């Protein structure tokens, strides 16, 4: 007997799937073709939200970790780097965009890593803010598909506006400080295209992205049925990453181990001054 109450199938829309890597990083992938390429469906389940958490508990965790970050050698290195490579007249920035932060309210491993990354992002903004070229307010934004309602309340309590995909891609421009602790290279590509003119771009490693894109391109080239649009995205990623390496100083942050057993090891890309070109 037919199911007369069955609703008609809705049009399919691309979604993003997040999976956990062994070291706790979040991995985000598309389920269908987009204008930046296509990725296969990834089957993954997210850890349950910690029901005992509250905004205040997250703020307490944030304060605890922030104190440890303030006392770290990595932070002193970052302060010295920014003072040394600040453009003449100050930073021409009016917004700071953080992408792929992870959820502070999901699994314990992710929560602590997300909090550390948030602290570094916000402190980096605080270091830049006194030396802005213009008296604009440096607004903070964060985008992460896994943000829960608790995450959003927590971030908003800290003055960080939450974006829904793809708002970050639309908001990021050459006047943005772009902070991406870890993201699949295909999804980072639209930010890389903008970052070539950004004065401050924080990412994992452009060399790593080049290697990953080249490996993907080699696999696709060996398959006669491969998607030509994906080959194009591989080429675009390689070109964009090399352009960032040409136009920016590459500053690998010293790996900092914290009491929680977590570490931050990112690369700070600062735009070269005109006289250095």
239 against 222, higher pLDDT: 239
β-sheet bridge partners, residue 176: 95
Structural domains counted in the chain: 1
Under a CB-based contact definition with an 8 Å cutoff, are residues 189 and 233 in contact? Answer: yes
Mean pLDDT value across residues 224-239: 90
- The pLDDT value given to residue 275: 61
Residue at 167 is within a domain: yes
Q: pLDDT band for position 276 (50/70/90)?
A: low
Per-residue pLDDT for 83 more than 90?
A: yes
The parent domain of residue 126 ranges over 51-201+248-268
Q: pLDDT band for position 22 (50/70/90)?
A: very low
Q: pLDDT band for position 203 (50/70/90)?
A: very high
Q: pLDDT band for position 37 (50/70/90)?
A: very low
8 against 118, higher pLDDT: 118
Task: Give the closest residue to 93 by CA, choosing from 190, 179, 13, 174.
Answer: 174
Q: pLDDT band for position 142 (50/70/90)?
A: very high
8 against 106, higher pLDDT: 106
Residue at 227 is within a domain: no
Per-residue pLDDT for 30 more than 50?
A: no
Rg (CA), the chain: 20
- The pLDDT value given to residue 248: 98
Q: pLDDT band for position 10 (50/70/90)?
A: very low
Q: Cis check for the bond before 135: say yes or no (omega within 30 of 0).
A: no
**Mean predicted lDDT score pLDDT of the chain:** 83
The Cβ of residue 214 has, within 10 Å, a number of other Cβ atoms equal to 14
Residue at 172 is within a domain: yes
Q: In sequence order, which residues have a C-beta less than 8 Å from that of residue 43 and are 6 or more positions away?
A: 17
What is the DSSP track for 202-239? EES-HHHHHHHHHHHHHHHHT-TT--HHHHHHHHHHHH
- The pLDDT value given to residue 241: 98
Mean pLDDT value across residues 244-268: 83
Under a CB-based contact definition with an 8 Å cutoff, are residues 96 and 141 in contact? Answer: yes
- The pLDDT value given to residue 50: 75
SS3 of residue 97 by DSSP: strand
Residue at 22 is within a domain: no
Percent of residues, the chain, with pLDDT higher than 90 = 65
Residue at 12 is within a domain: no
pTM here is 0.81
Residue at 274 is within a domain: no
């Amino acid at each position: 007997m037919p199911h007369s109450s069955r609703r008609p199938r809705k049009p399919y829309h691309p979604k993003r799937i997040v999976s956990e890597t062994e070291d706790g990083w979040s991995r985000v992938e598309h389920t269908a073709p987009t204008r930046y390429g296509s990725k296969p469906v990834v089957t993954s389940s997210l850890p349950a939200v910690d029901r005992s958490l509250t905004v205040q508990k997250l703020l307490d965790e944030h304060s605890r970790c922030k104190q440890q970050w303030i006392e770290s050698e990595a932070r002193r290195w970052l302060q010295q780097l920014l003072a040394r490579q600040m453009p003449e007249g100050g930073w021409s920035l009016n917004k700071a965009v953080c992408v792929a932060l992870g959820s502070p309210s999901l699994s314990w491993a992710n929560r602590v890593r997300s909090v550390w990354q948030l602290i570094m992002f916000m402190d980096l903004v605080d270091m830049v803010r006194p030396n802005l070229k213009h008296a604009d307010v440096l607004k903070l934004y964060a985008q992460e598909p896994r943000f829960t309602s608790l995450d959003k309340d927590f971030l908003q309590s800290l003055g960080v506006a939450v974006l829904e995909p793809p708002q970050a891609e639309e908001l990021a421009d050459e006047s943005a400080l772009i902070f991406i602790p870890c993201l699949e290279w295909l999804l980072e590509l639209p930010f890389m295209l903008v970052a070539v003119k950004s004065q401050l771009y924080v990412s994992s490693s452009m060399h790593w992205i080049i290697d990953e894109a080249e490996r993907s391109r080699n696999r696709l080239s060996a398959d006669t049925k491969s998607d030509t649009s994906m080959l194009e995205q591989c080429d675009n990623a390689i070109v964009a990453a090399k352009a960032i390496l040409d136009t920016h100083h590459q500053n690998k942050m010293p790996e900092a181990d914290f009491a929680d057993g977590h570490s931050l090891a990112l690369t700070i890309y600062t735009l070269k001054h005109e006289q250095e070109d």
